[in-house]
Each structure stands twice: as structure tokens, then as C-alpha cells.
Structure 1
């Protein structure tokens, strides 16, 4: 599924050689995925990983595990495309307030902005942007461009022909760059202000921020690593200009804040029932994506909902039960992930389908 720059990438894993673990206060036992994590080792010069689980059986805030000292429970990190779920929530709140309709064309709010090379804002609706069915070219695919504003990102996108016909699912960061401008036009405030006012402050997400032009992470934080395109080695990518990501991926957050956000969202605290049902409706995207959130059906028949985020120096994934009562969030301190078919499915299967894919329930004789 989607990330900031490409479809979902997962990790090659083997046995974990060293592990830092901590159950948060009053935890009676580890959940299956937390127990499974010690078997995993990321194969990229030891980047580290952390996982936080809020399970129905868990007391307190949940269960935390990390693979070493490079990542800590309270760290701030870049959450990449999970920003899209926050933006979509704001847009759906505005729809509930009658300030916009999802059937509205982009042209109504941003006249003339999307034109040229077969692009036409008169034929693209807000629903199409939310569901990635606009056909707009993904500006992050143009490696020669480094836009630091939404309008520059959109100009990059419209210098290319559409990727698909409108109505066909094709993940594009451009869609959310446009939505960020729509929020400003409707409210008179930028999307970051609306996210703070409508989500961050009411939910007391004290570790969540939208940095704008600030290149640093708030304390505490670890380091993030990416691939040097010249030499191929890992380079420090902790500091970067988040304006290139914008409404498609600039969010900074923490493990506990992301769990709290998705619990509130799926639990109905941020959207009325009609808007939440609309967010989870994947028909427009041929089952691939809702509106700022996507489903993943597991082998046991359970469907989890959430999003992932990939930005230089960071990979994050949150998955939750439909009611938000059971949530897993994990992060890796690099966006360069080796292999593709094992870690993420293994963790989700372990946690939400115990007894399958390594998800054996822990017993009194099990050692983490």
C-alpha cells in the first residue's frame, strides 16, 4: 500500500540479536506481535525499530518494544504519509459542516490551477483527491524537481500528463498537496493550523506537530538514515526541509500519539458516523483505499485499517481494528528497507491473527 514516494515497502527479517523491551505499567503479558519482535533483525547495517501496541487486554497505554538504544519510547519522528489521514479528517469535518462537498470540483476552490498536459481541475472532485483516483501525476516521481510549496508541487505535476484516467486508483502525493490548498481556501487558514485546532489540541497529541520550514525534530529524538545516492552507504537524514512533503507527508509525531489519533478516529470521536463510513468506503478506489486511510485484509479474515508513512530517515506504519480498540504502530529509523515480503505482514498477522504467521500466543514459559 502507499507511502510518501512509492507503494508499501516491507522489511527482510531474521532473528534479532539484541532487544530492548519494556511493558508499560500494569501490563499482564506481551501481545503476540510484541512477543514475535525478538525474532526479527533488519538487514541494513542495524537500523533500529520500535513497536507500540494498544490491545483490548492491555492495561494502561499499551506495550512497547524496541530493538536497541537507537530508538526510545518518547522519540519524535517523521510520520510521512500518515499526514494524509489527518488532512482527510479535516476535509471530512468541513464536509460535515457544509463548507464543502466531496462532489465539488477542484476548480470551484482553485480556479485555473490544474490545467495543461491533459490535466483539468474541472473534472477532478475532492473525493477523487481523497481516494487517489484523480489521475494526477505524483510530483515526487519527478526527481529533478524539489518543490518547497504546494503550488510548486502542483506545477511539477501538471507539467506531466495524468498517470491514469480519472476514477482509476493511482496513489499520488499531488492529491494531498491540492487538498491542503483547498483547506486554506475554505477556512482561511493553512491545513497545519486546522489540524492543530481540530485534532492535535482536542486529543492532546503533545508530541505531534507540523514543522513547516523547520528542518529539525523536537527533543527527544533519535537519528534517521537514508541511502547516499552517490556512494550507496547510509547517510544521516535526521534534518530535512519538510516543505517538499507538505500536506502529503510533513507530520512529526510519536508512537503513543499515533495510537491515540487512530483510536479516536476509528472510535468515532473525530467524525460523525456518516463521514466515518465515507472515509472507510473503498469503492471509488476499487477496494485499494478509502479517504486518507486504507484497509489490509489478513489471512484470518480480519481487516485492519490505517496508513503508513515513508520519508527520508523514517518508515512508520499504524494498523487498527475497525473500532480502534486494538492498534499496532511501529517505526524504523530508516526509509531504506531491504527485502519486501516479510516484516510487516508478519507483525500484523502475529498481532491480529494469533496462531498464524508466527503469532502464537505467549504462555507462562515463553521468554521474550
Structure 2
């Protein structure tokens, strides 16, 4: 298979597939598909896919740059690939493919923490030290002065351990925290996105429950919602079948990856359908009581920039959507939903870099902004 850098030199000959659910007879609007195509033509990525869910049904589309072809009998369910001459592009993304979701993991971890708060097993006003005594100390860092709320909202000032590791070193949570606290903190109370915050929250969940954050998320979220394609792989480097390929920004194949490079900040493996189902359930209030959901959506602590494992984005048309993005070596994912959860979109690409940063908001606007005839 040609590396990504080779694909970029090829003429763009795109394959676009649209699958509409049997519950909808109305074709999906072309604007979102056009926006998806631009991720390949302008964003310089090998393949992209999206899944939207709304009242009228579901819509799946994928697009890929030309690659080495493989027989369609390896492609999955009948009807999920083109062209019809017995081959499919090797980078074709199928609806049921598993992929790494990166920081979307934070939405799951935050949900577990807020459930524990609703059960009065912890308080968001608790200090980090109350649950992890003596762990956060040094270089001006002090867990006695940091609350769980500060971790959830990225206002703790703790350094991001991945700034040192570049997301390439497999670490235990303790090792990740030690790397972070070797650096002086940023100004406390200011929004400063840091993966260290959610590694610590994963440790807090285990201290409070006696079980790992992964086990708690599985029994509280994954199993009740029947997210059959979602898992916390631990140290497993391979993706579950079916899956496609994943590429680093330099074009190297990074499909196999040790999830411990991210841990509670980005370990999750999932599918497009599972993410849509999770965020719809979360925003509908199926996973949290009203008070905790309000706290999750409250961006005031982070000065309007972040809630708790969720953030909002106001699109040019004035529509506001809620969700999260996720970036990990070889994968970028973005989920967005209306506050009433009636419309949800997840898109993904099989690399961790999109050349044009304007393409993502354009894709969201194509789906969520009112359409003119």
C-alpha cells in the first residue's frame, strides 16, 4: 500500500458512498457529502467517513483517495463498497469499522465521575489530595489546592504530559502524572487543556470504586447502551475486526498502537454508530440526572470554552452544537449534536492531521445549519 505522502501526489479520483437507512426515503443533503469530500481533496487525508442520525433516519458516507485495491470479499457486508467491478480501495472505511477515538474518551470518563457525584460517592469540590493524597506535589503543583471540578474543566493548570511524550510512549498513570508535575503549573483557574487532568480522574474513579475507569465505564455506559463496538483495550495494540488502516502524519502505518500512550485521556476504541448513540443518550439525560447534566454543560468555570468532558461550538448560522473531538496517532474523530439530541453527527479520518483547519467547521455547518432551497 502506498504511504500517505505518495497518495498526495496522485490525481484525486474519489470514491464516494452514501448509505441511507431503510427508515428514510429522503436522500441525505449533498452539502455534508461535499464537505466530507473536501477532507480528502483539500485536507490531504487518505479516507474520511461520517454518520448522521436524526428523526428521519441515518446517513452514512465515505470518501477516499485512490489507493491499492483489494477484493470486495474482504470488504464486509454486501452493498457497502464501490466500484462494482470486484475491487475496493484499500483505505475504504466501512460503517462498522472500529477506530481509536482519542480524547472522546474524556466524555466517557467525565460521565462516570458525574455519576459518582450523583451517588454522593465524591464531590466535585473535593480536592485531588482527598482521593490521591500526596500524589500531586512538586514544581509548584499542589493537589491540596486542586479540585475535581478543576480537572474536569481543564482549569487545574497542570502541565500536559503528552507535550513531553508526543503521544508515543506507553505509560502507567503514575508515570504520566510524574512527567506532568515535573513542570511548573500554568495559572490556576485559566482554561488550559491537559490530558493529565483526565489521567488523574481515571485514578480517582479507581480509588473511589475499587475498579478501573474502564470497568466502571463498561458497566455504567457501554453495557446499558449496548455499545457493542466500544471498548477500552488496555494494552492491546491491535484493533478489533472489522477495521481499516491508520496513518501518522508522515504517512507511516500506525494501525497497531499501544493505547497506554493516552490511558484515561484517550484510550477508547469505538464505531461511528456507537458514538452517535452515546452522545444522543448523554444529552437526552439517559446517563445523568438533570443537575449533573447541567454541570456537565456549564462552561462558566472554563470561561465559556469547555464544560466537563464536553464543549460547545457556535456555528456561523447561530446554531450551537455539543460534543468532543479526539486525536490520537493515526486517527481524528469529531462528534457534534444538537442540545436536544435530535441530530447527531460523527465524522472520522484515518490519520491524525487535516491540512486545512477550516474544513471541520465547514462540515459541521453543512449538517447543522438551516438549508436553503
Q: Identify the TM-score tier after normalising by the shorter chain.
A: 0.7 to 0.9
User: Which residue in the other structure is 2:14 paired with?
Assistant: 17
Answer yes or no: is the 8 Å Cα contact 1:16–1:38 preserved in 2. no
Deviation, structure 1 residue 23: 1.5
Deviation, structure 1 residue 44: 6.3
Q: Deviations over 1:238-290 (max 9, x none)?
A: 01110120000000000000000000000000000000000000000000000
Quickly say closer, same or farther: Cα 1:107–1:235, change in 2 above 3 A: same
User: Which residue in the other structure is 1:80 paired with?
Assistant: 102
Distance 2:171 2:36 in 1: 40
User: Which residue in the other structure is 2:342 paired with?
Assistant: 325
The 5-angstrom pairing of residues 244-255 of structure 1 reads 244-255=261-272
Q: Is 1:237 matched up with 2:254? A: yes
Deviation, structure 1 residue 72: 0.7
Q: May I ask how many residue pairs the two structures share in their alignment?
A: 334
Q: Is 1:187 matched up with 2:209? A: yes
User: Which residue in the other structure is 2:178 paired with?
Assistant: 155
Deviation, structure 1 residue 339: 2.4
The 5-angstrom pairing of residues 112-123 of structure 1 reads 112-123=134-145
User: Which residue in the other structure is 1:11 paired with?
Assistant: none
Deviation, structure 1 residue 38: 6.0
Answer yes or no: is the 8 Å Cα contact 2:101–2:333 preserved in 1. yes
TM-score between both structures, scaled by the size of structure 2: 0.86
The 5-angstrom pairing of residues 187-226 of structure 1 reads 187-226=209-248
What is the RMSD of the two structures over their aligned residues, measured on CA atoms?
1.8
Q: Deviations over 1:142-181 (max 9, x none)?
A: 138835111100000001111x221110000000000000
User: Which residue in the other structure is 2:146 paired with?
Assistant: 124
User: Which residue in the other structure is 2:59 paired with?
Assistant: 63
User: Which residue in the other structure is 2:28 paired with?
Assistant: 30
Distance 1:38 1:168 in 2: 34
Quickly say closer, same or farther: Cα 1:100–1:182, change in 2 above 3 A: same
The 5-angstrom pairing of residues 33-52 of structure 1 reads 33-37=31-35, 39-42=37-40, 43=42, 46-52=45-51
TM-score between both structures, scaled by the size of structure 1: 0.87
Distance 1:18 1:337 in 2: 19
Distance 1:175 1:260 in 2: 26
Mark the runs of 5 or more structure 1 residues left unpaired by the alignment: 1-14, 228-232, 362-368
Mark the runs of 5 or more structure 2 residues left unpaired by the alignment: 1-11, 65-88
Quickly say closer, same or farther: Cα 1:105–1:38, change in 2 above 3 A: closer
Q: Which has the higher contact order (CA 8 A, sep 6+)?
A: 1
Answer yes or no: is the 8 Å Cα contact 2:246–2:350 preserved in 1. yes
Distance 2:194 2:356 in 1: 23
Distance 2:222 2:13 in 1: 35
2:114 aligned residue (86, 92, 95): 92
1:315 aligned residue (326, 329, 332): 332
Answer yes or no: is the 8 Å Cα contact 1:52–1:64 preserved in 2. yes
SS at match of 1:226: coil
